Structure 1
Amino acid sequence: MGKATGFMEYTREKTKERNPITRINDWKEYSAPLSDVALKKQGARCMDCGTPFCHMGMELEGATTGCPINNLIPEWNDLVYHGRWKEALDRLLKTNNFPEFTGRVCPAPCEGSCTLAINDPAVAIKSIERTIIDKGFENGWITPRIPTKRTGKKIAVIGSGPAGLASADQLNQVGHLVTVYERADRPGGLLMYGIPNMKLEKEVVKRRISLLTQEGINFVPNTEVGKDITAEELRKNYDAVILCTGAQKQRDLEIEGRQAKGIHFAMDYLTTTTKSLLDSNFRDKHFINTEGKDVIVIGGGDTGADCVATALRQKCNSVIQFGKHPQLPTSRTPDNLWPAFPNVFTLDYAYEEANAKFGEDPRQYSIQTKKIVADENGEVKELHTIQMEKYKGEDGRYYFKEIPGTEKVWPAQHVFIAIGFEGTEQSLLNQFAVETNNNRVKATYGEYKTNVEGVFAAGDARRGQSLIVWAINEGREAAREVDRYLMGSTLLP
């Protein structure tokens, strides 16, 4: 612990963000790192707890608490305070394969369980993490780590999201020959197409893919298992297969008028927008354009927020986001005690932008869409809603009921459904004949084995829709189990 009184002397400094009105005119990242001087002070705020809850990595009260990949946070905080950036990078890379991703898009459950956060704002862990890895690339500290020996064992990884990349990285480093199959035209999975450019610029993703390729991993894009190559071929040609396909089956909204034109799944909107941006800077027009339109996003999560931010950059006429839950409180409630993730009100980047553009937060709370109405051409023109009241039943569970007299009609020419994911797509799982449970691959956490010999599963395909840090956690652990399966023992963590 470099400065024993640092947490009393320095206040938390928020990551720098570009002006909201300025940044909605481009697709560059909205945030920027703090200065070295500022980050040294942020590192000094770390208390070097005897029991550092920040890297405990578990689920508490239905949410992630602490870092699932068990980052050695107090150690690299202290190294940053002392200006020993390269050593901080070495400590960071011991547990995290891709800090450049988590440092940008992870919701930072580590900060929610920071001991300092009991009474004061948490240590700026995420900002420090991002800067450590960015400095690593900028200073040439990160170079290809090419294995000196190969085992001759061949492994196929299906899906190139964070779980697939983490497992591929780990297995390649112990000398196995790894091939990653991706059905999209660019590797990266949701990192490439599901997360908008303003949160994660794609040069960051491509840089990592390039590095992994130099290290010996073979990426095969534009290849859909079951269509371009069969599961039988993969099992025949590889010693092991890992399913890291994600939870891509989007949950639909089954209400009157759903068939109207102009209603899209959120992920389709985000994917086509990013692909068009990368392919042609939107010149190909192969995207859903909301310019001059009234936009409604149904679903109150991060994917919905990304839709809000995307519509703003397309110069929509208005944008509203519907959420079924009440507005969160500004501070922890008695049933949401530390170190559980703080369920408190925050102003995410998209909402800050909408507020700057239109003068109000775009979120509408405790609202339910009753029906969708189309015009004479079948195009969506309005949504009918009613306010809901959340209450606790006699059984202790929470329920919702409609509030009479709160009906309202909202104009809309584009509607995006962002109410989550049901699980992974069944066609591929049927190809491998793996057992499933609630649209997820049935494989025990920590073991990752399916019912099919030599076939493993990790990430959202196994656990359901979750965080990037859980995907990396499972990718790393699945790699360990595959290595053990192939070699009889393993040195992987």
Structure 2
Amino acid sequence: MADPKGFLTTPRRDRPRRPVEERVRDWDEVYVPGALLPLVSEQADRCMDCGVPFCHEACPLGNLIPDWNDLVSREDWRAAAERLHATNNFPEFTGRLCPAPCEAGCVLAINQPAVTIKDVECAIADRAWAEGFAVPVPPDRLSGRTVAVVGSGPAGLAAAQQLTRAGHTVTVYERDDRLGGLMRYGIPEFKMEKRHLERRIEQMRAEGTLFRTSTTVGRDVGAAELRARHDAVVIATGATVWRELAVPGRELTGVHQAMEYLPLANRVCAGDLVTSPLSAAGRDVVIVGGGDTGADCLGTAVREGAASVTQLDIYERPGTVRDEETEPWPTYPKLYRLFPAHEEARALRTAPAAAEDSDARLFAASALRLTGDAAGRVRAVHLVEVDAERRPVPGTERVLPAGLVLLALGFLGPDRADGLVSGLGLELEPRGTIARDAGFATNVPGVFAAGDAARGQSLIVWAIAEGRAVAAAVDRRLTDGTTRLPAPIGPYDRPMRA
């Protein structure tokens, strides 16, 4: 604890965002470049070095948060990077994309704003790359065992890196033309520039991990053939089956899933396309779904030059402070949060007939039906207010103009159309995810499952924790029944909830 009074004398200060008028004209990350370093040392001083640090419990990775806060406050960046990478393979990802349940579990958050844990983490990770601390860690010797990892999202990459460092020969199979899963084509550039992903993949290549892109297991490579070729297989394909909107008019032209829309915008940023064929430019856009993916669609549509953008959230607008009765500390509370995309929408007044403080979201709103023109193109969304039980409130129906409707309703489980599940004969849970035992093993010997494909839709920090834990389980199978790899979570662990 570098400053025993830091939490009393220093207020919370978050990293500053670039002005809205500037950042909506490009696809760069929304934060002021280099603004973290002047802030994080004093913010790390606010950490109380608690005897029982609940930030550990709130983070599925078990990050050593008080340790690296203390080191950052002393500006010992090398040691801080070592502590951070001891539990997290990709802190530059989580420092940008994780909603920071660790901050909800911060003991200081009982009666004060939490320590800016996420900002400190991001600063350490960026400093590690800038100072050359994030070097490849190849194994001392090879085990002679081979592992196939199917999927290159955060769970698959974490499992592959851990197993490679343990000495196994790992090949990652990815169906897209580039690696990264949702981090590549689902996360917009303004949330995480892809250079962060590229340099981590290059580190993994230098360590010995092999990659095969544009390869769909079950179609391009037989699932049974893959199992026969390797000593173990890890399924980490994510939850890619999207939820549908079952309302009249869903079939109209101009109604698309978020994961049909967002990848095209990412391909424009990558130089694959000049413009997106689903560009929001000049259109009235309605986004159905109030979560992070909906916010990603919002920020993307604003940058593409939409005529208007509105986001429908079926839940009531949450409060700005924790409800201690229903969501007591240290659980992660549902609060009203102004994400960068909503800040942009408010500043630019994107919603039709927007109120003075509108951030493009309509809370407690549900789509009833979609209507179109004679050519079958969507032209309007008919919506209604709902109560706390999601029941329509009579007399509240209204109509929004819409030339593009984006569905951001979440995901159900792994894709079953490619032949991977059927080809291996994997058993599924009733909700559609891959069934597994307490050791991450499926019903097929030597085949393991991790990440959203087995857990269901979750956070990036849980995906990385799953990847690390499944790597320990695979290593245990391939050796003499022991492993030196950490297993931060079990397959049945869940986030803290009231």
TM-score range, shorter chain: over 0.9
Is the contact between residue 70 and residue 95 of structure 1 (CA under 8 Å) also seen in structure 2? Answer: yes
CA distance in 2, matches of 1:425, 1:163: 16
Is the contact between residue 106 and residue 114 of structure 2 (CA under 8 Å) also seen in structure 1? Answer: yes
Deviation of 1:310 (Å)? 0.2
CA distance in 2, matches of 1:164, 1:279: 26
CA distance in 2, matches of 1:13, 1:53: 21
Is the contact between residue 370 and residue 386 of structure 1 (CA under 8 Å) also seen in structure 2? Answer: yes
Equivalent runs, 1:75-94 vs 2, <5 Å: 75-94=67-86
Deviation of 1:148 (Å)? 2.2
CA distance in 2, matches of 1:423, 1:302: 18
Deviation sequence 1:216-241 (CA, Å, 0-9, x none): 00010000011110111101110000
Relative to the length of structure 2, the TM-score reads 0.94
Residue 350 (str. 1) matches residue 351 (str. 2):
no
SS at match of 2:44: helix
Is the contact between residue 426 and residue 442 of structure 2 (CA under 8 Å) also seen in structure 1? Answer: yes
Equivalent runs, 1:50-89 vs 2, <5 Å: 50-56=51-57, 66-89=58-81
CA distance in 2, matches of 1:339, 1:431: 43
2:253 corresponds to: 261
5+ residue gaps, structure 1, are 57-65, 391-398
SS at match of 1:211: helix
1:313 corresponds to: 303
Deviation sequence 1:192-215 (CA, Å, 0-9, x none): 111100001011111111110111
Is the contact between residue 36 and residue 119 of structure 2 (CA under 8 Å) also seen in structure 1? Answer: no
1:61 corresponds to: none
Deviation of 1:16 (Å)? 1.6
5+ residue gaps, structure 2, are 350-355, 487-498
Kindly tell me the number of residue pairs found equivalent between the two proteins.
Answer: 473
CA distance in 1, matches of 2:484, 2:100: 29
Residue 478 (str. 1) matches residue 479 (str. 2):
no
4+ residue runs over 3 A deviation: 32-37
Residue 322 (str. 1) matches residue 312 (str. 2):
yes
Q: Paired residue for 2:484, among 448, 468, 491?
A: 491
Q: Paired residue for 1:122, among 114, 132, 137?
A: 114
Is the contact between residue 440 and residue 464 of structure 1 (CA under 8 Å) also seen in structure 2? Answer: yes
Equivalent runs, 1:360-399 vs 2, <5 Å: 360-390=358-388, 399=389
2:492 corresponds to: none
**Structure 1, 409-418 or 33-42: larger mean CA deviation:** 33-42
Residue 405 (str. 1) matches residue 395 (str. 2):
yes
**Structure 1, 134-143 or 292-301: larger mean CA deviation:** 134-143
2:14 corresponds to: 14
CA distance in 2, matches of 1:473, 1:237: 27
Q: Calculate percent identity across the aligned residue pairs.
A: 45
Q: Paired residue for 2:435, among 430, 439, 442?
A: 442
Corresponding letter in the other structure for 2:287: V
Deviation sequence 1:142-183 (CA, Å, 0-9, x none): 211121200110000000000000000000001000000000
Give the superposed CA RMSD.
Answer: 1.0
Corresponding letter in the other structure for 1:408: R
Is the contact between residue 330 and residue 344 of structure 1 (CA under 8 Å) also seen in structure 2? Answer: yes
CA distance in 1, matches of 2:3, 2:370: 59
Residue 47 (str. 1) matches residue 48 (str. 2):
yes
Relative to the length of structure 1, the TM-score reads 0.94
Corresponding letter in the other structure for 1:324: I
CA distance in 1, matches of 2:271, 2:449: 32
Corresponding letter in the other structure for 1:317: A
Is the contact between residue 276 and residue 287 of structure 1 (CA under 8 Å) also seen in structure 2? Answer: no
Identify if the C-alpha distance between structure 1 residues 186 and 326 changes in structure 2 by more than 3 Å, giving closer, same or farther: same
Q: Paired residue for 2:125, among 133, 142, 145?
A: 133
Deviation of 1:286 (Å)? 4.5
CA distance in 2, matches of 1:352, 1:276: 24
Is the contact between residue 273 and residue 287 of structure 1 (CA under 8 Å) also seen in structure 2? Answer: no
Q: Paired residue for 2:416, among 419, 426, 435?
A: 426
Deviation of 1:288 (Å)? 1.1
Is the contact between residue 425 and residue 439 of structure 1 (CA under 8 Å) also seen in structure 2? Answer: no
Deviation of 1:35 (Å)? 4.4
Corresponding letter in the other structure for 2:20: P
SS at match of 2:391: strand
